Amino acid sequence: MVENHMTIQEKLSKLPQVNECLKGPYGQKWLEGSYRKIVVRAVREVIELKRRAILNGLDPDVSLDAIAGEIENLIRKYSAHKLRPLINASGVVIHTNLGRAILSDKAISNVAAIAGGYSNLEYEISKGKRGKRYSHIKDIIKELTGAEDAIVVNNNAAAVLVCLDTFARGREVIVSRGELVEIGGSFRIPEVMQASGAILREVGTTNKTHLSDYENAVCGNTGLLMKVHQSNYKVIGFTEEVPVERLVVLGKAFRIPVVDDLGSGSLISLEKFGIHGEPTVQEVIKQGADIVTFSGDKLLGGPQAGIIVGKEKLIQKIQKNPMLRALRIDKMTFAALEATFMQYLDEEKALQEIPTVRMLTQPLEVIRKRAARIHALLKKSISGQAELKIVGDQSRAGGGSLPETDFPTYAVSVRPSGISVNGLEERLRRGVPPVIARIQGDALLIDARTIQDREIKILTGCVIAAFGNNI
């Protein structure tokens, strides 16, 4: 063969130049579909790989036709966003690692409309002059919660921080020992307290705190009485906590505001869905809490935000805190939040259209049918490579919401025969889009609760592809 007589030098001389690769029809296509720096990097890397192969005594085909596929793979890899969508088959509805609440279609289209153009974010159209950023959202929050006034910040941690800073810098905040929670590692009540300059005055015991505990702790330097939603744990057995309406009586007597950090903050009573003990924001306001704080992206099902509602005089005071400027929300959050709140004006629609609320309250039969659809699609393609079953299981609310609440669900159980279940889990996780499922014994469970109907085909395609790699 002629090639065998080619010297390494001759082989190297056949390597294409980067510019050559970019000029032809391949190059044109790549540059149109991606970005110049990415294309150049991909071409360079593949040429370099071939150079090394030649130096190692190999004889690769270095024609553009032969190396185009490799270049395209690299372009695709480098063009992919680092933050990208995935399919949540874990059954955890409010999954903090997976972006918490997913927005409703209405919220998404409102974000697109507001983000893609100028808006009246801080402009009063009727008067033709500067307006207030927070004015747009105030009225609807007041209407939905029954509160006198409202303000919105970056997240609920910020909401708590600004409340503490406004009313209790250098002063004592009385909190029950049963409510000194840690949420997700970084938010711990004692530490937030410290960061704000407030002094934590813990009262009662882990399991029991009485009104008299609060009463005995009140002194001239008390800035706030605070209740904190336990969020991600429950104290059961021999327990007692002081309901907010009784704290309110105490607060009134001593002229000390009562703050209730609700954490999740649901606007819909979940009792009729068999979910007990989660007070709505409206209820807590009705019980007289002076300030209530809650998250935008937990049970509410909106964007990341912290909502502060309560007495007008107090909210106005928060409004004047210079710290607010550092915690303010942007127009995209406003757009998503306003659209989400609007949907709560019709509870039936909210239950259907806000994904978080829908996923948590959907009838078991709906979940079973979705699992059956997934099962049927998988069975057609991979029944020879895995044992497929529809199984009953439990989902979770997640996000520090509704701990110990059962969410019966249906999942598709995939027990692979050719590969290990860990191998399958990894392939799905590393696929495009990634699918996050959970392992139970030697099977992978795909929980139908957190799968959106529009994702079913993509999801089953991913599972089938994961098995396809096997052959």
Binding site for ligand PLP (CB under 6 A): 155-157, 160, 181, 183, 187, 228-229, 231, 261, 263, 295, 306, 400
Q: How far is the CB of 245 from ligand PLP (least distance, A)?
A: 19
Q: Would you say 122 or 404 has its CB closer to ligand PLP? A: 404
Q: How far apart are CA 140 and CA 121, in angstroms?
A: 16
Question: DSSP string spanning 56-81?
Answer: TT-----SHHHHHHHHHHHHHHHHS-
In angstroms, the Cα distances linking 308 to 64, 74, 292, 300 are 61, 47, 6, 14
Q: Given the complex with ligand PLP, which of 181 and 378 has the nearer CB atom?
A: 181
Q: How far apart are CA 384 and CA 449, in angstroms?
A: 26
Neighbouring CB atoms inside 10 A of 237's CB total 6
Whichever of 157 and 173 has its CB closer to ligand PLP, that residue is 157
Residue number, 91 or 306, with CB nearest to ligand PLP: 306
Q: Minimal distance in Å, beta carbon 33 to ligand PLP?
A: 38
Task: Give 171 or 227: the residue with its C-beta nearer to ligand PLP.
Answer: 227
∠ CA 272-278-284, rounded to 5°? 110
In the complex, which residue's CB is closest to ligand PLP? Answer: 263
d(CA 311, CA 319): 12
Closest approach, Cβ 92 to ligand PLP, in A, equals 15
Q: How far is CA 435 from CA 102, 232, 234, 261, 329, in A?
A: 16, 25, 31, 34, 31
Whole-number minimum distance, CB 231 to ligand PLP, in Å? 4
> Least distance in Å: CB of 157 to ligand PLP?
3
Strands 386-398 and 92-94: parallel
Least spacing, CB of residue 301 vs ligand PLP, in Å: 13
Decide whether 204 or 306 has the Cβ nearer to ligand PLP. Answer: 306
Q: CB under 8 Å, gap of 24 or more: what pairs does 421-427 form?
A: 424/466, 424/467, 427/466, 427/469
CA quadruple 30, 33, 36, 40: dihedral positive or negative? negative
Nearer to ligand PLP, 333 or 362 (CB): 333
Min separation Cβ 80 and ligand PLP, Å: 28
